[in-house]
Amino acid sequence: MPRVDSPTVRRRELGALLRQYRNEAGLAVKDVTDRLLCSAAKISRIETGQRSATPRDVRDLCDMYGVNDPAVRDRLMGLARESRQQGWWQRYDLDSPLQTYVGLEAASSHINDYESSTVPGLLQTHDYANAMLRVWQPEKSPEQRKQAIEARLIRQRLLDTDGGPRLWTVMDEAVLHRRVGGTDVMRTQLEHILKASEATAVTVQVLPFRAGAHRGMDSTFVLLDFDEPAVSSIVYVEGMVGQLYLEQPADVARYRRAFDELRAVALSPADSAQLIVDVAREM
């Protein structure tokens, strides 16, 4: 299936380019707001991709920044139009932070995912996801959980798209032994991970108990990379306190080092597959 473009990433790409042109013009945000009679929050949200810019916004900013090349202006106008389109995930009753994440995930080129206690969302079965949501979000209605699961299963099609992202996941061994939904559900889930790991776009490693202390013991995180040069890599950290997005180069580099260390001490993909087989047989 063809890959679906993401308005979330188009907003980030447009914002990064507009910030670049503002800096090249030697203008501060206050200079822009004074001339356009708008708030600093508006310019900041546009530049960070949190708000869509209208074609008129782009026109006015290009005029102010001295961006006169017709091809460049057309490209920026195109990004503004694309950033205001609807993503498929916006049809679902998903929390705003999750919608943002799905939009970023949809346009990523590489997904490095470390999980300490649960199967990565892109590899979860319907029954596993349902069992998790019943515990994680007990306040949600059955219809809301149904929508969340349906959206999660649609997300998984990313791994089958032409030019889709490559998923590299490291899971703590605890993920394999925790019988979410009961023995039958978990056994089916393990079999699903094995089948998914056979795809060229998916690499699965298990961090065994015998590895001892490691960098990921107190956290789970996802590192998203993008092909577009103007779109920076981002780290997504999720927990009971909420969702956190880290974009500063130093933060991204720290988590990238951590992921490299985790996969270095994890079992090889082949040994990981054998461990998954062994755990499934013992259930």
Q: Which pLDDT tens digit goes with each residue over 42-72?
A: 999 999 888 889 999 999 999 999 999 999 9
For 29, residues 6+ apart whose C-beta sits below 8 A from its C-beta are 22, 40, 43, 44
Q: Where are the domains of the chain?
A: 7-83, 89-282
Q: Which pLDDT tens digit goes with each residue over 196-211?
A: 999 989 999 999 999 9
Return d(Cα 78, Cα 67) in angstroms, integer.
Answer: 15
Mean pLDDT estimate for the chain: 91
Contact of 55 with 77, CB cutoff 8 Å: yes
Contact of 206 with 275, CB cutoff 8 Å: yes
- Average pLDDT for residues 153-180, to the nearest whole number? 93
Return d(Cα 206, Cα 10) in angstroms, integer.
Answer: 34
Residue 84 pLDDT greater than 90, yes or no: no
What pTM was computed for the model? 0.85
pLDDT at 160: 87
Any idea how long the chain is?
283
- Region for 114 from its dihedrals, namely left if φ exceeds 0, alpha if ψ lies in -120 to 50, beta otherwise: beta
Return d(Cα 48, Cα 231) in angstroms, integer.
Answer: 10
Q: Which CATH class is domain 89-282?
A: alpha beta
Q: Which CATH class is domain 7-83?
A: mainly alpha
Selection from 6, 216, 1 nearest residue 114 by Cα: 216
Sheet harboring 202-207: ordered strands across?
A: 202-207, 166-172, 110-115, 221-225, 234-239, 242-246
pLDDT at 1: 42
pLDDT at 233: 94
